[in-house]
Amino acid sequence: MVIHRTPMAEAVRAAYRAGQEDETLEPLVRVDGDGQPVGCIQEGDYVVFYDLRGEREIELSAALVERDFPHFSRSLHTVHLVTMIEYHPRLDARVAFPPLGPVRDTLCETVSKAGLQQLKIAESEKAIHIGYFLNGKSQQAFPGEERIIIPSPHGMGFTEMPPEMRASAVADATIEAVRDPRYALVIVNLCNVDVIGHIENRDAIRIAIETVDTQTGRIVQAAQAAGMTTLLTADHGTVECWYYPDGTVDTGHTTSPVPLIAIDPELGQNFQLRPGGALTDVAPTVLHLLGLSRPAVMTGHNLIPTLPPASSGGRTPRNRRVLLVILDGWGIGNGDAGDLITQAHPPVMNHLLAAWPHTQLEASGLAVGLPAGTVGNSEAGHLHLGAGRVVPSDRVRINQALEDGSFYRNEAFRWAMRGAKRDGTRLHLLGIVSFYSSHGSVDHLLALLRMARQEGVPQVYIHAMLGRRGERPESGAVYIEQVEREMARLGLGQVATVIGRFWSLDREGHWDRIEKTYRMLVEGRGFPVGS
């Protein structure tokens, strides 16, 4: 039996022993016997960036291919890039699985077409979610749509994020907005639980939960004073299921349902919410409250089938105003020791659940266009909150292509692989190495390796990003070992670099992080790893 060494996996494990972790892992670079880096991206090379989602992949992609790149100096002028999905329409790249087009007739587009004003408020951590995803994967704001984005705080490392974040500033902006009668619809995202929930720090998570609970109380109180109907929900679960069955910590998303609470002082308890709903039912419910017809493509259901008649002098549907509060990552757990939301005893949410009509919504798997049993995420969550119907995810499309074999005939992949073979250059496979990440799957990477072997590509290098979200502790080394063993079996390729996703997958213009990744990829800067 031949035993193949896995040098990069061993190097990752050594980094763990030195106190590092997957998310912020410092760059590791494979070197030859002379200590020179192998597998650097060179002039004219072909790169397949196989990640999904795309919003965190734009900056690094731009650093590789953008002609007039202003953020730091670069040595490369020509890199041929293929992306798994479209990261940005103006990015100079071929796209393996082009978009099917924006999702039309969403909640926000319907409100806009009705001539009503709407305002969205969030921290910069979730700006793309209340914009691009909530608008059906459309970059542009609709007529009558305004946005307030509060800059999120950032330290030198991911774990330095203060658990309070900027929730009080988000609440301040929301309170001011609900007092402004111009806005028929206000949508706000409080992101602390999701963001801090990805850190293995129970005390910080407790503070995040308490912060969201307190600021939610302020927002709801202001909305009640302004006579505004409030729908309180979430996009997916996170910290309500904080332990794996073996007792290790799960810092990822969950398959839990999320709450929906309807708060309207005028209606009081004189109505009920339909049970058995999903995130796709929120948009039709908001439109019903606003007195707007649901577009025919919205297959979600209104969760308030009948509204009691307005009291004398009360609001009609056409002058009712709605506040939609998205508590990012706030799932419904079972109340055990791993349900950190229940363990925090949030007084505001507990009071609202006791005082107002509420139900539970599905926020994962098939209900939000993901494979069955898949955990929810902020992208699918916000997309389905706005779309009002199920939108198949890119992961589903790609998995179907793997099943029917069309993945291995994809023209964009073929272009890169045959180009590298023809030109005598290198093929680089770049992306997250994970099973659970919403950014991509190790299965897709392994499929690309097998395709490169079939196409006879002579030089293939892997540039791996690691992250702990949704993974067991130190799982990154397990995936790197899996990849290295498959390459040994195929007789093709090397893992050239490994780095934590904190340095590579940014979406807020932290160009120092992207430069760190670029220098690793192109110049081989990092901790050297020999064979």
Give the span between the Cα atoms of 213 and 374, in whole angstroms: 27
Q: Is 131 within a domain?
A: no
| 3 state SS of 153 | coil
Instruction: Report the relative pairing of strands 427-432 and 460-466 from DSSP bridges.
Output: parallel
Domain containing residue 216: CATH number:
3.40.720
Both 373 and 403 in a single domain?
no
Token pair 């209900």 is found at 367
Range of the domain at 435: 7-98+396-529
Q: Kindly list the strands in the beta sheet with 94-97, ordered across the sheet, starting from the edge strand earlier in the chain.
A: 94-97, 80-85, 46-49, 427-432, 460-466, 494-500, 28-30, 527-529
Both 264 and 341 in a single domain?
yes
Q: Is 444 within a domain?
A: yes
478: part of which helix (H) or strand (E)?
helix 475-490
Both 479 and 448 in a single domain?
yes
Answer with the one of 360, 390, 420 that is the final residue of a domain: 390
Residue ranges, the chain, pLDDT below 50: 1-3, 156, 309-314
| Token pair listed for 204 | 């910080």
Residue 404 CA, distance from chain mean position: 27
Answer with the one of 348, 371, 390 that is the final residue of a domain: 390
Within 226-334, residue ranges assigned H as helices are 282-290
Nearest to 186 by CA among 174, 201, 172, 204: 174
Both 380 and 414 in a single domain?
no
Both 201 and 275 in a single domain?
yes
Answer with the one of 363, 390, 417 that is the final residue of a domain: 390
Domain containing residue 25: CATH number:
3.40.1450.10
Both 370 and 401 in a single domain?
no
Q: Is 277 within a domain?
A: yes
CB neighbour class for 234 (10 Å; exposed up to 12, middle 13-18, buried from 19): buried
Q: Is 514 within a domain?
A: yes
| 3 state SS of 430 | strand
Question: Which pLDDT belongs to residue 1?
Answer: 38
Give the span between the Cα atoms of 22 and 274, in whole angstroms: 42
Q: Is 424 within a domain?
A: yes
Give the span between the Cα atoms of 230 and 321, in whole angstroms: 9
Q: Kindly list the strands in the beta sheet with 358-362, ordered across the sheet, starting from the edge strand earlier in the chain.
A: 145-150, 117-123, 183-190, 322-327, 229-233, 258-263, 358-362, 277-278
Both 510 and 525 in a single domain?
yes
| Length in residues, the chain | 531
Both 447 and 410 in a single domain?
yes
Nearest to 38 by CA among 46, 30, 26, 27: 30
Quick count: other Cβ atoms within 10 Å of Cβ 434? 26
348: part of which helix (H) or strand (E)?
helix 347-355
Both 211 and 230 in a single domain?
yes
Q: Are 152 and 125 in contact (CB under 8 A)?
A: yes
Q: Are 118 and 386 in contact (CB under 8 A)?
A: no
Question: Which pLDDT belongs to residue 310?
Answer: 45
Q: Residue 405 contacts by C-beta under 8 Å, 6 or more apart in sequence? A: none
Token pair 């002058």 is found at 319
Give the span between the Cα atoms of 110 and 106, in whole angstroms: 6
Q: Is 340 within a domain?
A: yes
Give the span between the Cα atoms of 370 and 135, in whole angstroms: 19
Question: Which pLDDT belongs to residue 161?
Answer: 83
Give the span between the Cα atoms of 148 and 441, in whole angstroms: 34
The one-letter code for the residue type at 75 is S
User: Based on the structure, what is the number of domains in the chain?
Assistant: 2
Nearest to 475 by CA among 484, 486, 466, 487: 466
Both 375 and 233 in a single domain?
yes
Question: Which pLDDT belongs to residue 73?
Answer: 95
Give the span between the Cα atoms of 26 and 23, in whole angstroms: 9
Give the span between the Cα atoms of 276 and 258, in whole angstroms: 11
Question: Which pLDDT belongs to residue 172?
Answer: 98
Q: Is 377 within a domain?
A: yes
15: part of which helix (H) or strand (E)?
helix 7-17
* pTM exceeds 0.75 for this model: yes
Nearest to 385 by CA among 205, 212, 232: 232
β partners of residue 185: 118, 322
Nearest to 470 by CA among 378, 348, 386: 378
DSSP 380-412: HHHHHHHHSS----HHHHHHHHHHHSGGGG-HH
Q: What is the DSSP letter of 131?
A: I
β partners of residue 529: 30
pLDDT tens, 419-465?
999 999 999 999 999 876 777 789 999 999 999 999 999 999 999 99
Q: What is the DSSP letter of 200?
A: S
Both 345 and 247 in a single domain?
yes
| Token pair listed for 140 | 């542009």
| Token pair listed for 102 | 């924006």
Both 275 and 355 in a single domain?
yes
Q: Is 130 within a domain?
A: no
Q: What is the DSSP letter of 307?
A: P
Question: Which pLDDT belongs to residue 129?
Answer: 95
